């Protein structure tokens, strides 16, 4: 089985499949790399993170300070857990791992009652 995943991605599923008798070839399909900023990011109200590596790269480069008092939206419990470990409070969690679910959850959060 060809198993594309992010560089440094979790190995629970590939280990499970191997344990079930599958031959699994993990292939790196994406990688989060640190960006070089000439200046701090512009002002923002909401930060979205689709993966723990993206959140960790942001925090490693800019610390958690720019995320304080912001709405933080993440894709799934793994990214939520990475945020908690980094000291970042999360207000919105996508119920399923898709960009459309993340956007819908964020819209529902921001919609006035």
For 21-60, what is each residue's pLDDT tens digit? 999 999 998 887 777 777 778 899 999 999 998 899 899 8
Q: Which residues pair with residue 74 across a beta bridge?
A: 49, 93
Neighbours of 49 (CB within 10 A): 25
For 59-99, what is each residue's pLDDT tens digit? 988 889 999 999 999 999 999 999 999 999 999 999 998 99
CB 93 within 8 A of CB 74: yes
Domains and CATH numbers, the chain: 1-31 (no CATH), 32-110 (3.40.50.10090)
CB 55 within 8 A of CB 74: yes
> What pLDDT sits at residue 107?
94
Q: How far apart are CA 2 and CA 14, in angstroms?
A: 10
| Greatest CA separation for the chain | 51
């Amino acid at each position: 089985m060809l198993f594309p995943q992010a560089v440094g991605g979790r190995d629970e599923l590939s280990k499970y499949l191997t344990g079930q008798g599958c031959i699994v070839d993990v292939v790196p399909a994406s990688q989060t790399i640190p960006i070089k900023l000439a200046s701090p990011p512009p002002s923002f109200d909401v930060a979205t993170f689709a993966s723990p590596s993206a959140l960790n790269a942001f925090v490693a480069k800019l610390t958690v300070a720019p995320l304080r008092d912001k709405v933080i939206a993440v894709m799934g419990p793994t990214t939520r857990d990475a945020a908690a470990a980094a000291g970042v409070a999360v207000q919105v969690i996508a119920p399923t791992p898709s960009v459309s679910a993340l956007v819908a959850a964020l819209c529902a959060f921001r919609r006035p009652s």
